[in-house]
């Protein structure tokens, strides 16, 4: 099939996946857990926490759980995890504090500079399954210069539900083709493409840590493929 | 009744009313209408448009209309207004373009500097009946440095519905007393107080233009009363 070349000017809004695409959840959680609980395999702890994420959202989307914020899903997963990693003794306050590590994730080194460049030409927003409070705390701490914090919480549906991708176009009164999803995950980008959004893949080979390198080779279907957000800015003429 | 003195450190989030409090809707609309349609009394046009706002929201909150974004309510009001001001000949495209003047409102001269100071100590967000797209376009154009754009659209209720005031506390997982509403309208502040939020009144004597000066004398009940957002930053130690 012949594909029309992508025109940067046809897009007005760039919507960003957050966990893994803009911030380094694995490295950030590993560092914090290592510092607090040196007896724990902190890298494995981070991976296990994240592994519980999709099944937990699935329980919401299937109707087994009512609408639940990611903060609360993270907490449900954490409660199970602590027993597994010998941390059952943690108090409620310590659990609450640890759970908020997702509000304190560090940006990848290129994120702030790349987003700042992209913001000069486009409206940039988050489009994450994370809740609004989490995303706002994270942006304030890491200096992520969003024009707008959009979240599954606004649409009451989790990606890859079409309501989320269509929702961002609707919020800005645009055709879906005037929105581009930027993400490091092919399933997310596929979901967006199915709704008519443009897509850009960002390589984040270290998303799951150096011991579990991710295959970041280009896949067909995306309009753009970039090593990081500065490279994306370059490709979009910012 | 003895009132406990307000402690700035008890608050974490400042939520701002927008139309009239942060941006000058009257002056901005008057300037644009004057430039486009010099035959029209542009000040009266701006006042009439705004006067349709509360009754239109009332139609939504009473259930007469389903959930409707402010962009669409502004358009409904505008359609009636054009006949009244001899502008029935405007095309659909011209009406759409004029309706988006609400996305292009200018900030009061102190707003960007005041918000920037307040942002250094607090999480600052909009809390407006305006829709997310409108508020985002406005912030990008006027340089309003929100940490987060919150809108009636997120809560599917219009101020002064308690769901909006309680909603902002819930989004940030805070007690309502850890949130302060900043507004130039007493009914808005009253609604927030009834839900347990702190409140700050901002004097905007020119909100409805120089020919319709607003009484901005202090009223009991508010924790703070400031001439503008720089004065508020001063009072809050920013």
In this prediction the pTM is 0.96
CB distance A42 to A81 below 8 Å = no
Q: Is A123 on the interface with B (CB under 8 A)?
A: yes
Cβ burial of A88 (10 Å; 0-12, 13-18, 19+) is exposed
Homologous superfamily assigned to A8-24+106-235: HAD superfamily/HAD-like (3.40.50.1000)
CB–CB of B136 and A173 under 8 A? no
B71 vs A139: CB contact, 8 Å cut-off?
no
CA triplet B220, B233, B228: central angle to 5 degrees?
A: 60
Q: Which residues of B touch A139 (CB under 8 A)?
A: 147-148
- pLDDT value at position B1? 45
Tokens of B201: 């009144």
Residue B125: beta bridge partners? Answer: B15, B148
B123 in contact with A at a CB cutoff of 8 Å? yes
Q: CA dist B100 to A83, B27, B235, Å? A: 55, 15, 35
CATH 1.10.150.240 fits B25-103, yes or no: yes
Q: Give residue A173's pLDDT.
A: 97
Strand order in the sheet with B224-226: B148-151, B123-128, B13-16, B179-183, B198-202, B224-226
Tokens coding A177 = 């083709």
CA distance A82 to A90: 8
How far apart CA B19 and CA B135 sit, in angstroms, is 10
| CB B155, CB B131: distance < 8 Å | no
* Chain A interface, best mutation among B115, B171, B175, by max A CB count within 10 A: B171
Residue numbers in B near A172 (CB within 8 A): 133, 136
Q: Report how far Cα B33 is from the mean position of its chain's Cα atoms.
A: 20
CATH 1.10.3210.10 is held by the domain B8-23+107-235: no
Do B132 and A171 make contact, defined as CB atoms within 8 angstroms?
Answer: yes
pLDDT by residue, tens only, chain A of 238 residues: 455 678 989 999 999 999 999 999 999 999 999 999 999 999 999 999 999 999 999 999 899 999 999 999 999 999 999 999 999 999 999 999 999 999 999 999 999 999 999 999 999 999 999 999 999 999 999 999 999 999 999 999 999 999 999 999 999 999 999 999 999 999 999 999 999 999 999 999 999 999 999 999 999 899 999 999 999 999 999 9
Residue-wise pLDDT tens for chain B (238 aa)? 455 678 989 999 999 999 999 999 999 999 999 999 999 999 999 999 999 999 999 999 899 999 999 999 999 999 999 999 999 999 999 999 999 999 999 999 999 999 999 999 999 999 999 999 999 999 999 999 999 999 999 999 999 999 999 999 999 999 999 999 999 999 999 999 999 999 999 999 999 999 999 999 999 899 999 999 999 999 999 9
Alpha-carbon Rg for chain B, nearest whole angstrom, is: 18
3-class DSSP state for residue A126?
strand
Instruction: Using a CB–CB cutoff of 8 Å, tell me whether A70 touches chain B.
Output: no
B111 touches chain A (CB under 8 A): no
Q: How far is CA B118 from CA A16, B8, B55, B88, in A?
A: 27, 11, 33, 44
Mutation pick from A127, A131, A133 vs chain B, by most beta carbons of B within 10 Å, is: A133
- Report whether A208 contacts A94 (CB < 8 A): no
pLDDT at A4: 67
Q: Looking at chain B, how many residues does it have?
A: 238
In chain A, which residues have their Cβ closer than 8 Å to the Cβ of B153? 154, 171
Comparing CA positions, the residue from A110, A114, A103 lying closest to residue A141 is: A103
Q: Do B136 and A148 touch (CB under 8 A)?
A: yes
Phi-psi region of A86 (alpha: psi -120 to 50; beta: other; left: phi over 0): left
How far is B125 from chain A, CA to nearest CA, in Å?
A: 10
**Residue A22 DSSP one-character state:** T
Angle at A19 between CA A18 and CA A25, to 5 degrees: 140
B8-23+107-235 against B25-103: fold identical: no
Contact list, A136 vs chain B (CB under 8 Å):
123, 125, 147-148, 172
Whose tokens are 């309208």? That residue is B185
The burial class, CB within 10 Å (0-12 / 13-18 / 19+), for B116 is middle
Helix (H) or strand (E) holding A13: strand A13-16
Domain boundaries, chain B: 8-23+107-235, 25-103
Q: What is the ipTM of this complex?
A: 0.95
Q: Measure in Å the smallest separation between the Cα of A148 and chain B Cα atoms.
A: 6
The DSSP string of chain B is: ---PPP-GGG--EEEE--BTTTB-HHHHHHHHHHHH-TTS-HHHHHHHHHHTHHHHHHHHHTTSS-S--HHHHHHHHHHHHHHHTT-TT--HHHHHHHHGGGGSPPBPTTHHHHHHHHHTTSEEEEEESS-HHHHHHHHHHHT---SEEEEHHHHTS-TTSHHHHHHHHHHTT--GGGEEEEES-HHHHHHHHHTT-EEEEE--TTTT-GGGPPP----TT-SEEESSHHHHHHHTT-
- Measured between alpha carbons, how far is B29 from B37 in angstroms, rounded to an integer? 12
């Amino acid at each position: 099939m012949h594909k029309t070349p992508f025109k940067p000017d046809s897009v007005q809004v760039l919507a960003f996946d957050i966990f893994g695409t803009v911030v380094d959840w694995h490295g950030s959680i590993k560092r914090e857990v290592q510092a607090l609980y040196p007896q724990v395999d902190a890298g494995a702890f981070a991976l296990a926490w994240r592994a519980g994420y999709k099944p937990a959202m699935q329980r919401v989307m299937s109707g087994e759980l009512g609408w639940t914020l990611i903060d609360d899903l993270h907490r449900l997963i954490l409660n199970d995890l602590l027993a597994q990693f010998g941390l059952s003794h943690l108090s409620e306050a310590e659990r609450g504090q640890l759970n908020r590590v997702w509000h304190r994730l560090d940006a990848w080194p290129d994120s702030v500079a790349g987003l700042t460049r992209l913001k000069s030409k486009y409206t940039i927003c988050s489009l994450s399954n994370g809740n609004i409070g989490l995303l706002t705390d994270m942006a304030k701490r890491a200096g992520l210069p969003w024009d707008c914090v959009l979240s599954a919480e606004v649409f009451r549906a989790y990606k890859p539900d079409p309501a989320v991708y269509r929702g961002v176009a609707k919020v800005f009164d645009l055709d879906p083709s005037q929105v581009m999803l930027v993400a490091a995950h092919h399933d997310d980008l596929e979901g967006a493409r199915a709704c008519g959004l443009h897509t850009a893949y960002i390589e984040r080979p270290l998303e799951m840590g150096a011991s579990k390198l991710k295959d970041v080779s280009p896949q067909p279907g995306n309009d753009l493929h970039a090593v990081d957000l500065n490279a994306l800015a370059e490709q979009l003429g910012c």
